[in-house]
Chain A
Amino acid sequence: MSASTVPDLPGDSELVESYLGGDQGSAAELVRRHSAAMGRFLYSAGAAPDDVDDLVQESLFRAFRALGGWRRTASFRSWLFSIAGNLLRDEFRRRKGRQVIALEDREIPDRADPHGELAASDMEERVRAGVSRLPRLQREVFLLRAHEGAGYDEIAAALGTTPGAARVHYHHAVKRLKELVR
């Protein structure tokens, strides 16, 4: 069997330990594994496309200088998402409450469009704007579940809440957002 001849890839925890022991290559592998997902998370959460790269880089910088903060009760990726979420919240605040996503620059079609049709991209943009306007915990719980399929225990560990509260946040988010796709 080929499976027995292919060595298992090291897990994130092993890579972190290896990096902390001085192996820079392990850090590069962690970046390779997670940076694209972080970009999708940040973009979906409302980061402007031009800002995504910088936000991913800053999130990774914050993560790598504080790796001791990863408690391993949540996955490394969920922990990275929580750091990226904090950064995005700071960015929202820095822009004095104005969402990073520039909805005012777009012509959002009237939902009561006589043709009864919305272009998929318009609906997606509407959803993205809706996600960016959710309260922070709702937004992060929703995206961790929608993007990563994370369970509520995992989400709770990553975001410092309880599984029950995470479930409630998710359902609140879904309730608000699904109005946008009806």
Chain B
Amino acid sequence: MTACERLSDRIPEVVRGRSRWTPEESAHLAGCPNCRAEWDLLVAVDRVAARAPAPRDPSALAATVLRRVADHRRSRLGSLGRWTVGVAAAAGIAAAVWTGVNRGNPASDPVAVAATVDIALPELEPMETAELDSLLEAMEAIPSPAPAGWSALGEPTLGDLDADELEQVLGTWEG
């Protein structure tokens, strides 16, 4: 490592007042225009930073940030709720259609199928921030493109059903 490289490595800490030049370093700096220019640059950058606008009151800033995070989490939980209801609905539809074809099989009860995939939203309430975040991150990790029967927004779609199947579903819903 050259003397210039060694000096270059030291400039940030000296500019920031964390260290001082040794006599040898001072002598090098006085006689080396390259190192002098680097020193002047870092001093200028330090002055630029000092001219940055005065920061907002951190308490108010923290309150705003945390409110936004809470709003964001709430809206994602809302999406999660719609997603789980969607899963239940889709499962119900699929099961209803399937039972239409396979009458008499108790395992295909749409209510039972829906119950296995629905997550009751109140159960999310007592979760800690970290648990909620990891659950929400997992929800966002749902692979794209979505499986057949799902729109890009993750909502169930009836688009996969033909006209007869739709009639059966509607019949189920309308009693």
Tell me which of B13, B16, B37, B53 contacts A49 (CB under 8 A). B53
Contact surface of B with A, Cβ cutoff 8 Å: 8, 12-13, 15-16, 18, 34, 37-38, 40-42, 44-53, 55-56, 58-59, 61-66, 68-69, 72-73, 128-130, 133-134, 137
Residues of A within 8 A of B12 (CB): 145-146, 149
A146 CB, min distance to chain B CBs, angstroms? 5
Whether A60 lies near B61 (C-beta < 8 A) is yes
Whether A24 lies near B66 (C-beta < 8 A) is yes
Residues of A within 8 A of B53 (CB): 39, 43, 49, 52-53
Whether A68 lies near B133 (C-beta < 8 A) is yes
Q: Which residue of B lies closest to A31 (CB)?
A: B62
Residues of A within 8 A of B56 (CB): 35, 53, 56-57
Interface members, chain A 31-80 (any B CB < 8 Å): 31-32, 35-36, 39-44, 49, 52-53, 56-57, 60-61, 64-68
Residues of B within 8 A of A123 (CB): 44
A85 CB, min distance to chain B CBs, angstroms? 15
Whether A39 lies near B44 (C-beta < 8 A) is no
Q: How many residue-residue contacts, CB under 8 A, span A and B?
A: 130
Whether B41 lies near A180 (C-beta < 8 A) is yes
Residues of A within 8 A of B129 (CB): 19-22
Total interface residues on A, CB under 8 Å, equals 50
A4 CB, min distance to chain B CBs, angstroms? 25
Tell me which of B8, B59, B72 contacts A174 (CB under 8 A). B8
Task: State A65–B75 Cα separation when bound (angstroms).
Answer: 13
Task: State A56–B50 Cα separation when bound (angstroms).
Answer: 16
Task: State A32–B46 Cα separation when bound (angstroms).
Answer: 21
A16 CB, min distance to chain B CBs, angstroms? 10
